[in-house]
Amino acid sequence: MKSKTAKRPIEILIVDDNPGDVRLTLEALKDGKVQNRLHTAHDGVEAIAFLRRKGEYADVPLPDLILLDLNMPRMNGVQLLAEVKEDSALKHIPVVILTDSREVEDIAKTNNMQADRYVTKPIDFEQFIKTVKSIIDFWLTTVKIQTEER
Amino acid sequence: MSQTLKMDQQLDKSEVMAHEIKQSKELFRILFYRSPIGTYIIQDGCFRLVNRQLAYILGYEEDELIGRPVLSFVLPEDREAVREKAVSMLKGECSLGYEFRVINKQAKIKWVMETVVPIYYRRKRAILGSLIDVTERKQMEGRLKQMTDEMQRSNTELEQFAYVISHDLQEPLRMVSSYTQLLSKRYRNKLDDDADEFIAYAVDGAKRMQTLLHDLLEYSRVGTRGKPFSLVNCEHVVEQAMANLKIAIEECGASVSYDVLPTIMGDEGQLVRLFQNLIGNAIKFRGEEAPQVHISAQRRNNTVTFSVKDNGIGIDPEHSQSIFDIFRRLHTSEEYPGTGMGLAICKKIVERHGGHISVQSQPGQGSTFYFSVDMAGGEAE
């Protein structure tokens, strides 16, 4: 079952307005062993267009995993998450909140959010690599469970 | 003979009575008219009798007040409340130290404190009142409250400021530190020696700044992000602190012991942090011998004073106050690493729990840190 998913690269959508973070995630993913393709949206509005394949995003693949920052202009992470989880075509995609906010758990509780995981962006790069790796591991097990359930 | 004696006796008696009457009139005059407290009798809502001090407080002559309605001297906003007091008074209730405002002849507002009791005067119900001028005290109270409010506000602002600063600086700092680390990881030994050295300094600087910001954030969170107080078993707290320090304790063979410790009202997470910082310091600033830390508690009335005693290098008494200041360090970072925030955080936590922290120490003779906590959880605002 694992081999079935590992044959094609994992399509990852990162929603973050900070190009430095996007690049850092890309570098961290390079360090991992799993084949992947990273797509970028700079805010919630762009991310929704991507996920619903509107306009310039007509030919993009549906991502296997969404990495979501919370603080963004226009539509922020909390709003985007709500939108994704209400959309029957999208709600199966695992969402990992990857953010600066140290109060990520607090925010999660107050907003009653349904993200699959909450991760604070580590300040240390080595730690960041480990974090990204753990997210990918998490995704692999989630997908495994989902395929087994089917 | 017996007749004259009787006459003399009667004469004596009336003389004595006259003398007594004179004396009691004088006493009354002193007590009533010279009293430093405004004293008066009110009947049918009007002054029937007033002394000089009351007239002085209101700025009138005594005879100007007689027959005038009392409420006309009371500030209109306070009239209803004063009138209600008078009504309940006539039902037989006393009123002690009631404060309201009056307007004097010069149209100035004064705060007064009145105590009144119901009496009979010339066979009719009346009110006996005494009153003092508390304007100065009220003004002081007002100024004090204003100052306290302002201080509180600026304190909260400062805490918020420190929080926002330390929080928001993390993001750009993360960029600096992550990318310098990435540079060091990818390009070590690929550029020249100078480049390696420069990058190493940049990485180190960013790391130290992270620690500073992290500790500053933690410090500001004591006030702004504290949890509500609940019952906390201090032995559990010490156990948790020790568990968090497990590696450090094992590495240097430290022994940590504690007496019976009480259950208090407090913020458990913060109390763990408090003990952890103090035990951690005892281990960090150890002497030649393996560190020994002992914790005990003494209760007096509603206050528990904890002591954390060690056999470490000690502190010069000269620094026994300043070590609790933020970013205060007594050693270079080569000797002992750290940001100098640990004890400042301790102090803040203790103060939030309504207590004080202090240290008794001599260089080379170990240190004992004392801190008190309000058992009932009287949280400092």
* Domain assignment of residue B7, yes or no: no
* pLDDT class of B304 with cuts at 50, 70, 90: very high
The residue with greater pLDDT, A49 or B88, is A49
Give just the sign of the alpha carbon dihedral B8, B13, B19, B21: negative
Indicate whether B246 and B350 sit together in one domain. yes
CB contacts of B181 in chain A (<8 Å) are 124-126
Tokens 């119901």, located at residue: B118
Helix axes B170-187, A125-149, angle to 10 degrees: 90
CB contacts of A18 in chain B (<8 Å) are 171, 175
Look at A128 and B175 and tell me if their CB atoms are within 8 Å: no
Indicate whether B350 and B312 sit together in one domain. yes
What's the pLDDT score for residue B379? 60
Distance CA B213, CA B211 (A): 5
What's the pLDDT score for residue B367? 93
Per-residue pLDDT of B215-261, as tens digits, reads 888 888 887 778 889 999 999 999 999 999 999 999 989 999 999 99
B316: left (phi over 0), alpha (psi -120 to 50) or beta: beta
Q: Which of B93, B112, B133 is the last residue of a domain?
A: B133
Indicate whether B159 and B270 sit together in one domain. no
Indicate whether B122 and B40 sit together in one domain. yes
Indicate whether B361 and B350 sit together in one domain. yes
Look at A123 and B173 and tell me if their CB atoms are within 8 Å: yes
ipTM over 0.85 threshold: no
* Domain assignment of residue B261, yes or no: yes
Q: Which of B103, B133, B163 is the last residue of a domain?
A: B133
Look at B217 and A102 and tell me if their CB atoms are within 8 Å: yes
**H/E run at residue A106:** helix A104-111
Q: What's the gap in Å between the CA of B277 and the closest CA on chain A?
A: 21
Residue A109 in tokens? 């509780």
User: Could you tell me how far CA B220 lies from the centroid of its own chain?
Assistant: 20
For an interface test with B, which of A123, A131, A132 has the most B Cβ atoms less than 10 Å from its Cβ? A123
CB contacts of A125 in chain B (<8 Å) are 177-179, 181-182, 185
Containing domain of residue B191, as a range?
A: 139-225
Indicate whether B272 and B202 sit together in one domain. no
CB contacts of A126 in chain B (<8 Å) are 181
Mean pLDDT of all residues in B264-271: 93
* Domain assignment of residue B285, yes or no: yes
Distance CA B261, CA B267 (A): 16
- Which residues of chain A are under the pLDDT cut of 70? 1-7, 101-113, 144-150
* Domain assignment of residue B110, yes or no: yes
Q: What percent of chain B has pLDDT over 90?
A: 58
Average pLDDT, chain B: 89
Report the half-sphere exposure of A99 (CA within 13 A, side-chain side): 24
Report the half-sphere exposure of B117 (CA within 13 A, side-chain side): 5
Indicate whether B104 and B125 sit together in one domain. yes
The DSSP code sequence of B138-169 is HHHHHHHHHHHHHHHHHHHHHHHHHHHHHHHT
Mean pLDDT of all residues in B260-270: 93
What's the pLDDT score for residue B217? 83
Q: What's the gap in Å between the CA of B175 and the closest CA on chain A?
A: 7
Which CATH number fits the domain that encloses residue B302?
3.30.565.10
What's the pLDDT score for residue A8? 80
Distance CA B256, CA B254 (A): 6
* pLDDT class of B85 with cuts at 50, 70, 90: confident
Indicate whether B73 and B212 sit together in one domain. no
Q: Which of B133, B164, B179 is the last residue of a domain?
A: B133
Query: Are the beta carbons of B359 and B291 closer than 8 angstroms?
Result: no
CATH tag for A15-143 (out of 3.30.390.30, 3.90.226.10, 3.40.50.2300, 2.40.10.120): 3.40.50.2300
* Domain assignment of residue B3, yes or no: no
Indicate whether B70 and B118 sit together in one domain. yes
Residue A141 in tokens? 């097990």
* Domain assignment of residue B1, yes or no: no
Indicate whether B250 and B362 sit together in one domain. yes
Indicate whether B148 and B219 sit together in one domain. yes
A-chain residue closest to B171, CA distance: A100
- Residue B71 pLDDT more than 90? yes
Is A121 near chain B, with CB under 8 Å?
Answer: yes
What's the pLDDT score for residue B237? 95
Helix (H, G, I), strand (E, B) or coil at B227: coil
Q: What percent of the residues of chain A are helix, what percent strand, and what percent coil, each to the nearest 5?
A: 50, 15, 35
What's the pLDDT score for residue A1? 44
What's the pLDDT score for residue A5? 47
Q: What's the gap in Å between the CA of A18 and the closest CA on chain B?
A: 10
Number of structural domains, chain B?
3
Report the half-sphere exposure of B334 (CA within 13 A, side-chain side): 0
Indicate whether B231 and B211 sit together in one domain. no
